[in-house]
Structure 1
């Protein structure tokens, strides 16, 4: 305890105490505007939602854990690939590192709530000037050595909520990073699934071309035999050989595309292309009914929307920190320890010393003129908040559009696939009739080639539409925010 032995000192304290008490009463008072999530124009229902009783209403929330949504496809290979991507994808690892940085920033901001303690030691050697001691100009002064070992303490009360506003901003930024990590995770999961179905599409193409090559090789051998017997002209033989070579060329093109797609999938799994090999397996038709829910639930379950909302909250808190610059800052500092002219006496009880009060500066500071810097800081914070509000609303609009796009595509793809199946059946029937008529000699080989080309074209279109439906189903799940729960 410090005992005041003089009346002036006691008077100073008595006059200063009310001021300090008034300042301390402002501790924790936030100057940030009251935060409310801005309204977003939300339709009552999705425009493209099919009027189908199989489509169920979902009631998800952002706080619910995202499940392994890809298991709805019932594909064990896809399940394994998703697990490998979750464990080794490098973009996901980088996202986790960013999240850890955001969490550390919160702790760094919270550290300002507490006193800062330190210790230090040092030695000074000095000779005071005669004038500083009140001596004659030519007086002799002695050189002295002073050893010090002391602890320091510094503390800034949270006047006008500057520190708490910074903590609120860091906390909201951390929550934004958590939502962005979930969004990144969902994107990678969807990319793995879509790349997987693209590979299976190419496997189905390869299977079709394998059958086509086998049939054309048999046809070419038959025509070669008939040519050798003199039954047909060389023209029909060269036409058959051309069709066979073209089919081989297209088959090699599919193989080339598959190799590139397999390499892309390997990178998503955190592997080099040389480490990854996926055995061929043709795509199987996928026709899932995904519970979409209401547009209003999209604002709660999409992690990118949650990230945009948290970014607004952080920007709002920074307005409070910028406003706090208009008000005084109080820095309480002090030092305690030992000092001695002789090192051997440094830690003796008689060498103890302390100082309470500002060290090298004022305790209470308030800028009076800064050329408009504080005003600019508040305007900057308000502008950043307005920008984040627009970004949030745009993110929500984009989410609504993505869901509507995928719903429309799935609805129309369903009709396309049905029509395409009819076209494939007709082409196969036409090919069978043309081959029969060719054997009977009523049509030339050119008719057979045209019919075979049509069958191959329809088969390719059928596979492409099935693959597009699988990829669009994945994209709809991603657009809905991942997993869901049915009522």
Structure 2
């Protein structure tokens, strides 16, 4: 009895030693530290300030800084019905389900079964002569089987860690898709409003040139001017009408694109015209170090690194033994009617087929190749992470520069519009006095139209650059990022729609 206890004690000590040794199979995860500047280059010397978290600040609904209720409604509709967002939510649900699959290996598996076995033993197994005959018999079994793999060397733990990181990556990717959708909706909305401003400008231009043509026609009828001026006036009117139709065509396409983002059929969607005005918004860029925490694509890249690192441990665990404990408890009988009698009970400890402790000795280098592939995949994810961080800083710097230069460009453009308008008024006066030709009037009017059209484009460019900067910063600039909708919430939206 004491010998038996000492044997069990030694076996238990061996299992503990193997389990402790398994802690070293998975590599420690140490995410790389990217080179982060102390401040954004393009924010220096401007009107920017370091972000100061405030309870009254926007919690993810960054588009409300534009103060446009229609845009607010567009964002809410896109959140409910956009199909790309629902697909991202479904991908997150898949990742979470795979995490559940990996975690299931941490627990014993239990199954039940019943059925007959028909067999005839050999004479040798019964100690009979070789020419002796044996009869076939049927054995009925009804039993519950239990199996459990002891995670000696972290194989299951590495698989769970990899699946958990992949699920967290899916959450970050969902937030990234959500942020991209919000930015795309704002882009499309401001483009439609910019084209509305262009249409308004050309409607005024067409009306002005219609009046001018009527004046030229009257002067031509009176014999004061030649037919050349009349032809030029008609050309300018037709050109303005053509350009107005071109803007109408662009607006229709932009409105259709916005409808798709909202998850609606373009035929059922219409946005009343409302020209875009000048938006003077201030977006504090904050500190570059906060960018690593706020950008969902950076978070997704970091979680991809963590998953790849865990898969290295999973590949390395294949070099170590696997211990699987199995057993069965139930009934067996030669007669079906006696199967559930108390005397028919039976049990077995250990595998019915195979071995309890397995260790492959030679596989032609398969495990070495798996470890090498896992390590290479990890290095790939590290490179992707570093590149994602670099791209993030570039996007922020680009949009900071755009906004800074756009503000300076506004001043120059306002002067250009004012000067062109004055030149047009002077040319009209001089033409009526006969000191200049009608060609000078046309050139002056074209210049006014061109400069005002450029001003409307700058309005749209400023709005889009502000949206791009907020997207590059990872959304709102609050202290705690707004949580993305869970997969279950988004899928419920889909079921309700």
Q: TM-score range by the shorter chain?
A: over 0.9
Q: Does residue 82 of structure 1 match 2:78?
A: no
1:91-144 deviations in Å (ceiling 9; x for gaps): 000000111111111111111110000011111222223233222233221121
Task: Indicate the SS of the match to 2:105.
Answer: helix
Partner of 1:483: 476
Q: Does residue 456 of structure 1 match 2:452?
A: no
C-alpha distance in 2 between matches for 1:97 and 1:246 = 51
Q: Does residue 149 of structure 1 match 2:149?
A: no
Partner of 1:43: 37
- Specify which of 272, 280, 288 is matched with residue 295 of structure 1: 288
C-alpha distance in 2 between matches for 1:124 and 1:155 = 25
C-alpha distance in 1 between matches for 2:352 and 2:120 = 22
Q: Does residue 139 of structure 1 match 2:139?
A: no
Question: Given that residues 304 and 395 in structure 1 are in contact (C-alpha distance below 8 angstroms), is that contact kept between their aligned partners in structure 2?
Answer: yes
Task: Indicate the SS of the match to 2:436.
Answer: coil
Question: Given that residues 291 and 486 in structure 1 are in contact (C-alpha distance below 8 angstroms), is that contact kept between their aligned partners in structure 2?
Answer: no
Of the structure 1 ranges 323-332 and 439-448, higher mean CA displacement relative to structure 2 is found in 439-448
Partner of 2:359: 366
Quick one: structure 1 residues 317 and 347, their matched pair in 2 at CA, closer, same or farther if it must change by over 3 Å?
A: same
C-alpha distance in 2 between matches for 1:80 and 1:217 = 39
Partner of 2:176: 183
Q: Does residue 127 of structure 1 match 2:108?
A: no
Partner of 2:159: 166
- Specify which of 279, 304, 318 is matched with residue 272 of structure 2: 279
Shift of 1:25: 4.5
Q: Does residue 27 of structure 1 match 2:9?
A: no
Shift of 1:258: 0.5
Partner of 1:254: 247
Task: Indicate the SS of the match to 1:142.
Answer: coil
Partner of 2:107: 114
Shift of 1:59: 5.6
Q: Does residue 467 of structure 1 match 2:460?
A: yes
C-alpha distance in 2 between matches for 1:442 and 1:297 = 64
C-alpha distance in 1 between matches for 2:105 and 2:19 = 13
Q: Does residue 437 of structure 1 match 2:437?
A: no
Partner of 1:18: 10
C-alpha distance in 1 between matches for 2:75 and 2:5 = 69
Task: Indicate the SS of the match to 2:142.
Answer: strand
Structure 2, unmatched stretches of 5+, are: 481-497
C-alpha distance in 2 between matches for 1:294 and 1:324 = 42
Tell me the TM-score normalised to structure 1 length: 0.94
Quick one: structure 1 residues 130 and 65, their matched pair in 2 at CA, closer, same or farther if it must change by over 3 Å?
A: farther
Of the structure 1 ranges 127-136 and 230-239, higher mean CA displacement relative to structure 2 is found in 127-136
Partner of 1:351: 344
- Specify which of 200, 217, 230 is matched with residue 237 of structure 1: 230
- Specify which of 410, 413, 418 is matched with residue 417 of structure 1: 410
Shift of 1:299: 1.0
C-alpha distance in 1 between matches for 2:5 and 2:346 = 21
1:238-275 deviations in Å (ceiling 9; x for gaps): 11111111111111100000011111111110111112
- Specify which of 303, 312, 315 is matched with residue 305 of structure 2: 312
Structure 1, unmatched stretches of 5+, are: 1-6
Shift of 1:17: 5.3
Task: Indicate the SS of the match to 1:27.
Answer: helix
Q: RMSD across aligned C-alpha pairs, in angstroms?
A: 2.0
Q: Does residue 93 of structure 1 match 2:86?
A: yes
Quick one: structure 1 residues 213 and 226, their matched pair in 2 at CA, closer, same or farther if it must change by over 3 Å?
A: same
C-alpha distance in 1 between matches for 2:257 and 2:11 = 67
C-alpha distance in 1 between matches for 2:479 and 2:81 = 31
Question: Given that residues 200 and 283 in structure 1 are in contact (C-alpha distance below 8 angstroms), is that contact kept between their aligned partners in structure 2?
Answer: yes
1:21-44 deviations in Å (ceiling 9; x for gaps): 422454374322222221111111
C-alpha distance in 2 between matches for 1:81 and 1:109 = 40
Question: Given that residues 60 and 301 in structure 1 are in contact (C-alpha distance below 8 angstroms), is that contact kept between their aligned partners in structure 2?
Answer: no
Question: Given that residues 121 and 134 in structure 2 are in contact (C-alpha distance below 8 angstroms), is that contact kept between their aligned partners in structure 1?
Answer: yes
Question: Given that residues 66 and 482 in structure 1 are in contact (C-alpha distance below 8 angstroms), is that contact kept between their aligned partners in structure 2?
Answer: no
Question: Given that residues 153 and 333 in structure 1 are in contact (C-alpha distance below 8 angstroms), is that contact kept between their aligned partners in structure 2?
Answer: yes
1:361-394 deviations in Å (ceiling 9; x for gaps): 1100111112222222222221111111111111
Task: Indicate the SS of the match to 1:293.
Answer: coil
Shift of 1:234: 1.4
Quick one: structure 1 residues 405 and 474, their matched pair in 2 at CA, closer, same or farther if it must change by over 3 Å?
A: same
C-alpha distance in 1 between matches for 2:153 and 2:53 = 39
Alignment of 1:315-326 (within 5 A): 315-326=308-319
Question: Given that residues 424 and 459 in structure 1 are in contact (C-alpha distance below 8 angstroms), is that contact kept between their aligned partners in structure 2?
Answer: yes
Quick one: structure 1 residues 50 and 436, their matched pair in 2 at CA, closer, same or farther if it must change by over 3 Å?
A: farther
Partner of 2:199: 206
Question: Given that residues 328 and 366 in structure 1 are in contact (C-alpha distance below 8 angstroms), is that contact kept between their aligned partners in structure 2?
Answer: yes
C-alpha distance in 1 between matches for 2:6 and 2:43 = 74
Question: Given that residues 286 and 477 in structure 2 are in contact (C-alpha distance below 8 angstroms), is that contact kept between their aligned partners in structure 1?
Answer: no
